[in-house]
């Protein structure tokens, strides 16, 4: 309904957008489904704490709005609900000088009719994409018309924040967007990891609050596969699978964790946060609430906040592995569907993933034990890849993004 109204009003919005004065300090924040998370969230935090300008978080969720107003002033929130709420939203949009977005669709419902060089659109992204792990370009299944639409959306962005020069060049080529639109600032989620490296005790306290019942542990293993886009295309693969090994035995896993005084945290991608029945059964068959726990996004909104305390990461093609490189701790890769993974591998996978690749459970247990005993194994390779994909290691990415707004 809202999109239809915007379409009908688009000629008027276009004219108003050309002449209305913009507030240099008004910044609108968008995120997937209006949820309060990711890079936009941490940059919003930064501006609030710095008391700079007037950051406004945009959401169409009453639950998100009600949660946020417990902590923030309603002057820093915009609820896109009802006639009054949407009128306020349109007003704030038209008078804002900058928009912070996470994905290409976040504000396209109104941006498509109101593009102007006077207003900066800064895409702070979801995560760092390494060329060897995931496609970053226009989806190859798109028709010619869809590709043109995608390019229009991507080119509407003023700046994309990047973590390195190599990511900058890769994204530019993949997005069909001018190289000058990609700025190496670092991203807020990396700041979270870097600035919490000395706060491991606080992270342990947080985990002890989240884990029920209580358990004594000395090691933390985090398992975070990426999503598979299941169901979106006819030839898509199944949703992500934990421990996709024919020789997997839950009793052996529990014994391994007990012997190493470790806990295992399972975490799915936010695109797979709403499980189908079969996926629920898979997780429940592993979780024992003794040393194996499932941390949904409702339990832990931001997994980057606990990375400095994690001793071993298990992943596949997820961007979280690139964030975890900031900690220089062991990573086990489980590329069980490397040939079928529909989002594709751009370059040689092994060259960009500094850790052991495992394909059966026996190999997994052996590798995990080696890494827990000797976390320095593969350290030099992890450090080399980290330096390639994290140009800024000072934890000041938000400061650099703010300069994009101010300049």
Q: Which of 60, 77, 57 is nearest to 69 (CA)?
A: 77
Give the DSSP H/E element, type plus range, for residue 259.
helix 250-259
Fold match, 2-190+399-406 / 197-389: yes
Q: How far apart are CA 360 and CA 243, in angstroms?
A: 8
Round to the nearest angstrom and report the end-to-end CA distance of the chain: 37
Question: Over the stretch 49-91, which tens digit does the pLDDT of each residue have?
Answer: 999 999 999 999 999 999 999 999 999 999 999 999 999 999 9
The fourth-level CATH superfamily of domain 2-190+399-406 is CDP-glycerol glycerophosphotransferase, N-terminal domain (3.40.50.11820)
Closest CA to 283 of 275, 291, 255, 221: 275
CATH homologous superfamily of 197-389: CDP-glycerol glycerophosphotransferase, C-terminal domain (3.40.50.12580)
Distance CA 247, CA 346 (A): 30
The tens place of each residue's pLDDT in the chain, 407 residues long, gives 677 888 888 999 999 999 999 999 999 999 987 889 999 999 999 999 999 999 999 999 999 999 999 999 999 999 999 999 999 999 999 999 999 999 888 999 999 999 999 999 999 998 776 655 555 555 545 556 678 888 889 999 999 999 999 889 888 888 889 999 999 999 999 999 999 999 999 999 999 999 877 889 999 999 998 866 544 433 444 567 889 899 999 999 999 999 999 999 998 866 555 444 444 556 767 887 789 998 887 788 889 999 999 999 999 888 899 999 999 999 999 987 777 665 544 567 788 889 999 999 999 999 999 999 999 999 999 999 999 999 999 999 999 999 999 98
**Integer Cα distance of 383 and 25 in angstroms:** 39
User: Alpha-carbon distance 125 to 186, whole Å?
Assistant: 11
Query: The tokens of 324 are what?
Result: 């975890």
Judge contact between 239 and 227, C-beta under 8 A: yes
Residue 407 vs residues 80, 95, 97, 136: alpha-carbon distances, Å:
29, 18, 12, 28
pLDDT at residue number 55 = 98
Domain ranges of the chain: 2-190+399-406, 197-389
Closest CA to 264 of 245, 289, 284: 289
In terms of Cα–Cα distance, which of 162, 171, 56 is closest to 397? 162
Peptide bond into 308 cis (omega under 30): no
pTM (predicted TM-score): 0.89
What Å distances lie between residue 375 and 254, 371, 378, CA to CA?
A: 21, 5, 8
Q: What are the E-state strand segments in 22-95?
A: 23-29, 54-59, 77-79
Residues contacting residue 388 through CB under 8 Å, at least 6 positions apart: 164, 166
Does an H or E element contain 84, and which? helix 82-95
Reading the block at residue 380, the tokens are 């030099």
């Amino acid at each position: 309904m809202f999109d239809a109204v915007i379409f009908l009003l688009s000629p008027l919005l276009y004219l108003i957008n050309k002449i209305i004065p913009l507030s240099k300090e008004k910044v609108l924040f968008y995120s997937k489904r209006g949820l309060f998370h990711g890079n936009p969230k941490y940059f919003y935090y930064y501006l609030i704490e710095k008391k700079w300008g007037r950051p406004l978080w945009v959401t169409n969720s009453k639950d998100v709005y009600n949660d946020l107003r417990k902590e923030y002033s309603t002057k820093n929130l915009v609820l896109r609900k009802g006639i009054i709420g949407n009128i306020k939203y349109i007003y704030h949009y038209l008078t804002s000088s900058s928009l912070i977005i996470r994905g290409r669709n976040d504000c396209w419902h109104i941006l498509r009719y109101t593009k102007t060089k006077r207003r900066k659109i800064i895409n702070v992204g979801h995560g760092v994409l390494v060329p060897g792990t995931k496609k970053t370009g226009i989806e190859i299944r798109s028709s010619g018309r869809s590709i043109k639409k995608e390019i229009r959306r991507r080119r509407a962005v003023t700046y994309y924040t990047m973590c390195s020069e190599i990511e900058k060049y890769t994204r530019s080529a993949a997005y069909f967007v001018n190289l000058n639109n990609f700025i190496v600032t670092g991203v807020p989620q990396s700041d979270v990891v870097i600035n919490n490296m000395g706060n491991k005790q606080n992270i342990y306290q947080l985990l002890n609050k989240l884990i029920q019942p209580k358990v004594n542990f000395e090691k933390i293993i985090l398992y975070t596969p990426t999503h598979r886009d299941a169901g979106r295309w006819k030839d898509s693969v199944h949703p992500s699978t934990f421990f996709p090994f024919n020789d997997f035995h839950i009793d052996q896993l529990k014994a391994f964790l007990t012997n190493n005084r470790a806990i295992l945290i399972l975490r799915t991608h936010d695109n797979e946060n709403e499980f189908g029945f079969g996926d629920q059964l898979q997780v429940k068959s592993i979780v024992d609430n003794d040393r194996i726990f499932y941390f949904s996004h409702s339990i832990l909104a931001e997994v980057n906040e606990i990375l400095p305390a994690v001793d071993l990461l298990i992943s596949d093609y997820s961007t979280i592995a690139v964030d975890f490189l900031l900690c220089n701790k062991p990573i086990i890769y489980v590329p069980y569907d490397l040939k079928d993974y529909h989002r594709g591998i751009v370059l040689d996978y092994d060259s960009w993933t500094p850790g052991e690749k495992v394909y059966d459970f026996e190999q997994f247990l052996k590798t995990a034990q080696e890494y827990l005993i000797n976390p320095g194994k593969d350290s030099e390779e992890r450090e080399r890849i980290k330096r390639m994909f994290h140009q800024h290691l000072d934890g000041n990415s938000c400061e650099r993004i703010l300069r994009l707004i101010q300049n």
